[in-house]
Amino acid sequence: MPLLALNNLNVRYGQIVGTSDLSLSLEAGEILALVGSNGAGKSSTLKAILGMAPYRSGKILWQGKDLKGRKPSEIVREGIGFSPEGRRVFASLTVLENLNIGAYSRDANEAAERIEQIYTYFPRLRERSGQRASSLSGGEQQMLAIGRALMSRPKLFLLDEPSLGLAPIVVERIGDILKEIQAREALAVILAEQNANWALALADRAVILELGQKTAEGPSADLLRDPKVQSAYLGI
């Protein structure tokens, strides 16, 4: 049984199409990249998994269990962590408070231990621990958003557009840390990303989305060599 399976998922916002008949599945410990341009349905897919976007038909199965109708806060408790597009850290809270919110569904002793671990991954966050999140740079906010999502020790991590608006060197750094975390915690990751080069380099497997539909799927290495993918997404 896959960790997560989407079967013919149709996300709709009124008349606007989020995804249409999208099916995909993910094994434990696997990194899957969702690649596509703006409006391709990447965010809609992640939001639907977390119960934040309405879907008209189709199924989302988490370890075989249907997630339909569950609230996001309940789905997080199932072991799914989420770092949203645009980071959306809690601006008026300190770095430490942001991290503690990430562990809201866990007990307090666990949280203290987990924060140490997150600070080891992101030493910059330890230095900024008492500062308001609004005072952080874009890269630091992205680290905080990732750290916050990982506080609950998820089995699956939904990561939406982490490279958005960040300098290439910062993006590389975040990629390295992600790799380290993923290897250490055997975390499954769905990475929704416009930066296809970077996403395919990180992921084991990728799904290419266009207007909510899957147009290609396969191991990242294969997609990197696919001429169509190269011309459309990799700028080759």
Partner 1 sequence: MLSPIIIGQVIVNGLSLSAIYVLIALGFTLLFGIMRVVNFAHGAFAMLGGYALYYLYGKYALPYPLAVPLAALIVAVLSLVLETLVFRWFYQKMFQSMIGLLGLNMALMFSSVIVWDVYERSIPPAFSGVLRLGGLILAADRLMVIGIAIIALLAFWLFMTKTRYGVAMRATADDVEIAEAQGIDTRTIYRLAFLVAIFMTALAGGLYAQIYALSPFMGERPLIVAFVVVILGGMGSIPGAALGGVILGFTESILSTFYGAAVSSFVSFGVVIALLIFRPWGLLGKPE
DSSP string, 125-167: HHHTTTSBGGGS-HHHHHHHHHHHHHTT--SEEEEE-TTTT--
Amino acid at 127: E
Nearer to partner 1, 52 or 177 (CB): 52
Q: Which two tokens stand for residue 23?
A: 């099916």
Q: Which two tokens stand for residue 95?
A: 């770095």
Which residues make up the interface to partner 1 (CB under 8 A)? Answer: 50, 52, 71-73, 76-77, 82, 84, 88, 90-93, 97-98, 100-102, 104-105, 108, 148-149, 152
Least distance in angstroms from the C-beta of 165 to partner 1: 18
Q: Is 189 exposed, middle or buried (0-12, 13-18, 19+ CB in 10 A)?
A: buried
Dmax over CA atoms of the chain, in Å, equals 51
Least distance in angstroms from the C-beta of 71 to partner 1: 7
Nearer to partner 1, 165 or 168 (CB): 165
Least distance in angstroms from the C-beta of 147 to partner 1: 12
Give the DSSP H/E element, type plus range, for residue 81: strand 80-83
Least distance in angstroms from the C-beta of 196 to partner 1: 26
Nearer to partner 1, 101 or 234 (CB): 101
Nearer to partner 1, 91 or 183 (CB): 91
